[in-house]
Structure 1
Amino acid sequence: MILTAYERMIARRYLLPGKEEAFIFLVASISLLAVTLGVAALIIVMSVMNGFRAELFDKIVGINGHAVVQGYNGQLINWRPILEEAKNTPGVVSAIPLIEQPLMASHEGRVEGVLLRGMEMGDIKGNTLIRSNIREGNLNALRQGSNSVIIGIRLAEQLGLHAGDDISLISPAGQTTPFGTVPRIVSYHIAAIFEIGVYDYDKAFVIMPMADAQTLLMMDNTIGIIEIRTTNADHVGQILSSLRARVANVGVLQDWRTMNASLFQALSVERVVMFWILALIILVAAFNILSSLIMLVRAKNRDIAILRTMGASRLSMLKIFMAVGLAIGGLGTLAGLILASIILYFRQPLVDAIQYFSGQDLWDPSIRIITQLPARVDPIEVLGIMALSLGSSFLFTLYPAWKAASTDPVEVLRYE
């Protein structure tokens, strides 16, 4: 929509009306503010939800892989052929053996439930999520046969532990006596403390070399799980379809969707619902633009009639009032984009400041799972929100612009 010089001049004057139209200017300002808040709220909420899902996915997949092969009885006895088959499957990046076993851990009278994870030393040190998030101690101090472990930071906080302290692991698989099975209690040296960023993992994981875990659990040379990573997490089902049939007689193959189905499905549903609920704010703002333009047309009825008698066409009137409405919507959209960018950039300091002044824990990691407020901006989604805002503004300017263009100057000026 190209405006001539005089159309641009009139549109600018109508955007900033005189004192007699102060109320119209107030309504237009409220409309602009509503568009700003609506666009900002939608971008912020969708970015936070995208970030939450992406962060949760990265953490879960980073520690659990895209899929696992687990024995029917909790153990894979003849596991090496299965491991080789998994590694040779097209689309598989890596396959590593694991042991996972729930145990109890104690220190100076405190007791917590933990999840023991046994891994090969190369796999522990090669895991980026663990290696890059050591908060205390040294990962190189973890060595096979040295009775050393690494633990999550939340578990360390619960038991009052630091790197260099000892932790006792209690295994129910102990010696059988005439009085029953005596649990095994073994003390381990804490080599390092890590923080993955997922509360449940940081509170539960105790990681040790594979051979030490087999000794503690008296598993000989067996393992519990084979963790698999593929080239594409979204197509993990198709990539591992052939492997699923080959391992069916010894274990079950589960991918990340199956293991976390309820969580990710809930996030997807909540994301869609939140989008449409917050989109209503933009629609309400567009209704405000409609009402302000209707009042502006009524207030400028005489001016429109004079312009028409001076030779202004109906198309010019249509373009002028559409430009006014689109300017309000466009400025509000731009301001909303800027506001959302600022809030997203300073999101964690804002949460910390609110928590400090209110005295409330707004982001309890034990409830929110993730330890910090995440955000990930999707440019395509932002463009869609901007298109929704501008499109709504355009649609709601059509009626008042048409009314202005339909003004009959003879009727308006008859009694002037």
Structure 2
Amino acid sequence: MYKPLELFIGLRYTRAKRRNHFISFISLISMLGIMLGVVALIAVLSVMNGFHKEVRERILGMTSHATISSYQNNLTDWQEAMQLSTQNPHVVGQAPFIEAQTMLTNGQRVNGAILRGILPDYEPRVSEVGDHMLAGRLDQLVAGQFDIVLGRELAQLLGVGVGDKVTVVTPQIRVTPAGAMPRLKRFTVSGIFEVGMGEYDRGLALIHMEDAARLLKLGDGVTGVRLKLDDLYLAPEVSRELADQLPGVYRVSDWTFQHRNFFSALHTEKRMMSLILFLIVAVAAFNIVSTLVMVVTDKQSDIAILRTLGISPRSVMSIFVIQGATIGFIGTLLGIGGGILLSLNLESIVQGIERLFNVNFLDPNIYYISSLPSDLHWDDVGLISISAFLITLLATLYPAWRASRTQPAEALRYE
């Protein structure tokens, strides 16, 4: 079978048992370095993707994909807004809500919290809080009974449980014979939830929407309407469409805007971690440079003979590029396989190590996410593979160029 001369010699140099075993050792180290760099990149990015997915799902399990509100902060015709939003095919759930910053007190214990008024029948359409109840149920919130559901940490800070009383203090002022006083109302704790996000477990309280409207004196108005979409990544597009369809009194926002700083920080962290880990591949690529420089020195007489037989400097350069690229390709290929296997089985591997050494890497008493999630993205694998191979390919250029500059007469003078 026909094989180009450059490819034949380059692969032969890669396979051959060299007289200088140190060169073979450095080649092996370079290959292993590239493999470890690619494995680390794929595994670490998969873990970061897993953490991002967990955090995103927990946030979006409590917040809405999109929200319709009013510029006057009191949406009175919310039924019309709900009806208009149903015309968009991506909207699969809607629920009105009332929200306000309040203080919750129990004796000497005081804690700030967001008070959210909900309709228990509508809330499961846009939120998963009903699936995370530790005590009680959302449907136990009945208008007029002034019951309240607290996050687990908020209940602990206030020292209350189901059946206890808490006082809600609103920022609104009422005039009494004793002077101006904030509006107060006693509520009975009817449930406790835990979603695994401190923002909600420590700072959110749920009551019936009619009780919230009465407490805040909103009449028939609400703060807004929360929407759930069939694809959360379409939220910006759907929000723009709804903003164009709805009258000018409505304002439409989505989760990417509400949590922009947080998710931007996550993406920045991922990019910086990728850059840092790519240094491992770069170090391995420097090993390829040193390997090929030593090979070129070792093969000076061979290069000189090839040049006297008529091979061109460009062909000599191609030989050593092929040799270095082979090392990089094999290292990258092994890294891809190892990285994929590690990422797909990372959670079980970590659990096995924890059982073997009786340790907890993520203590559930400290961290909200107590397992090590892994979410393998094939686009990350493709980008890492191409980038690692290109880095190794660039590392071959200088040694190969140096080989192509070999002068036959000088190389064979003392042979």
TM class, shorter-chain normalised? 0.7 to 0.9
| CA apart distance, 1:68 | 1.9
1:346 is matched with which residue?
A: 346
1:291 aligns with 2:293: no
TM-aligned CA distance change 1:395 to 1:161, over 3 Å: same
- Deviation per CA, 1:7-44: give whole Å up to 9, x if none: 65542235xx45x432x344334433432343244334
CA distance in 2, matches of 1:362, 1:344: 23
Please show how residues 351-390 of structure 1 align to structure 2 within 5 Å.
375-390=374-389
- 1:108 and 1:303, CA in 2 relative to 1: closer, same or farther beyond 3 A? farther
TM-score by length of 1: 0.77
Partner-residue secondary structure (3-state), 2:202: helix
Change (3 A) 1:167 1:410: farther
Shift of residue 206 of structure 1?
Answer: 1.5
* Structure 1 unaligned blocks of 5 or more: none
The aligned residue for residue 395 of structure 1 is 394
Letter in 1 for 2:204: F
- Residue 13 (str. 1) matches residue 42 (str. 2): no
SS at match of 1:227: strand
Q: Name the structure 1 match of 2:181.
A: 181
Query: Match of 1:396, as an amino acid?
Result: A
Equivalent residue runs for 1:327-346 within 5 Å: 327-338=326-337, 340-341=339-340, 342=342, 345-346=345-346
Give CA deviations for 1:276-321 in whole Å, capped at 9, x if unaligned. 4543443343232112111122123345567889999989866664
RMSD: 4.2
Of 2-11 and 167-176, the range deviating more from structure 2: 2-11
1:348/1:373 contact within 8 Å kept: no
Q: Do residues 119 (structure 1) and 122 (structure 2) align?
A: no
Cα drift, residue 118 of structure 1:
1.6
Of 25-34 and 184-193, deviating more is 25-34
Structure 1 residues 263 and 141: CA distance shift in structure 2, 3 A: closer
Q: Is 1:236 matched with 2:238?
A: yes
- Give the 5 Å matches for 1:101-180: 101-107=100-106, 109-127=108-126, 129-134=128-133, 136-139=134-137, 142-145=140-143, 147-161=146-160, 164-172=162-170, 173=172, 176-179=175-178, 180=180
The unaligned stretches of length 5 or more in structure 2 are none
Residues in 1 aligned to 2:220 and 2:57: alpha-carbon distance in whole angstroms: 31
Q: Secondary structure at the match of 1:293?
A: helix
Whether the 8 Å contact between 2:164 and 2:188 is mirrored in structure 1 is: yes
Question: CA 1:371–1:237 in structure 2 vs 1: closer, same or farther (change >3 Å)?
Answer: farther
Query: Residue 158 and residue 39 in structure 1: after superposition, are their counterparts in 2 closer, same or farther (change >3 A)?
Result: farther
Q: Which residue of 2 aligns with 1:87?
A: 86
Structure 1 residues 81-121: Cα deviation after superposition (integer angstroms, max 9, x where no partner): 23322333564333321011222223464322111212111
| Aligned-partner residue type, residue 186 of structure 1 | R
TM-aligned CA distance change 1:343 to 1:363, over 3 Å: farther
The 5 A counterparts of 1:272-283 are 272-283=271-282
Relative to structure 1, is the Cα distance of residues 53 and 284 closer, same or farther in structure 2, using a 3 angstrom cutoff?
same
Distance 1:159 1:241 in 2: 41
Check whether the contact 1:142–1:149 (CA below 8 A) recurs between aligned residues.
no
- Secondary structure class of the residue paired with 2:128: helix
Shift, 1:221, TM fit: 3.0
Deviation at 1:64, TM superposition (A): 2.5
TM-fit CA distance, 1:187: 3.0
User: What is the DSSP-based 3-state SS (H/G/I as helix, E as strand, rest coil) of the residue aligned with 2:376?
Assistant: coil
SS of the residue aligned with 2:261? Answer: helix
Structure 1 SS opposite 2:184: strand
2:329 aligned partner, one-letter code: G
Which one-letter code corresponds to 1:139 in the other structure?
Answer: R
**Aligned partner of 2:110: which letter?**
V
Sort the Cα spacing of 1:81 and 1:190 in 2 relative to 1 into closer, same or farther, 3 A: same
C-alpha distance in 1 between matches for 2:327 and 2:226 = 55
* Mapped pair 1:75 → 2:74: yes
**One-letter amino acid of the structure 2 residue matched with residue 102 of structure 1:** Q
CA distance in 2, matches of 1:360, 1:131: 26
Q: Could you say what secondary structure the match of 1:240 adopts?
A: helix
The 5-angstrom pairing of residues 57-76 of structure 1 reads 57-76=56-75
| Alpha-carbon separation, structure 1, partners of 2:282 and 2:252 | 47
Q: Match of 1:190, SS?
A: strand
Contact kept? 1:106, 1:167, Cα under 8 Å: no
SS of 2:74's equivalent?
coil
| Contact 1:35/1:336, CA 8 A, preserved across alignment | yes
Report the Cα offset of residue 161 of structure 1. 4.9
Residues 336 and 208 (structure 1), Cα distance of their counterparts in 2 relative to 1, 3 Å cut: farther
Return closer, same or farther for 1:230/1:259 CA change in 2, 3 Å cut-off. same
3-state secondary structure, aligned to 1:228: strand
Q: Distance in 2 between matches of 1:76 and 1:7?
A: 74
Q: Show CA shifts across 1:213-262 (max 9, x none).
A: 33444444322111133452241343223245x042xx533333332333
* CA shift for structure 1 position 205: 1.5
Q: Secondary structure at the match of 1:84?
A: helix
Partner deviation per Cα, 1:357-390 (whole Å, 9 max, x = no partner):
899999976xxx9787655332112111101111
**Residue of structure 1 in register with 2:97 after alignment:** 98
Identity %: 30
1:39-67: CA deviation from partner (whole Å, max 9, x where unpaired): 24433454444445444444444432233
In structure 2, the CA distance between the partners of 1:373 and 1:165, relative to structure 1 (3 Å rule), is farther
Q: Secondary structure at the match of 1:122?
A: coil
User: Following the alignment from structure 1 to structure 2, what is the Cα–Cα distance between the partners of residues 266 and 410?
Assistant: 60
- 8 Å CA contact 1:75, 1:224 repeated in 2: yes
CA–CA distance in 1 between the matches of 2:402 and 2:384?
29
Please name the residue that 1:213 is paired with: 212
CA distance in 1, matches of 2:381, 2:164: 50
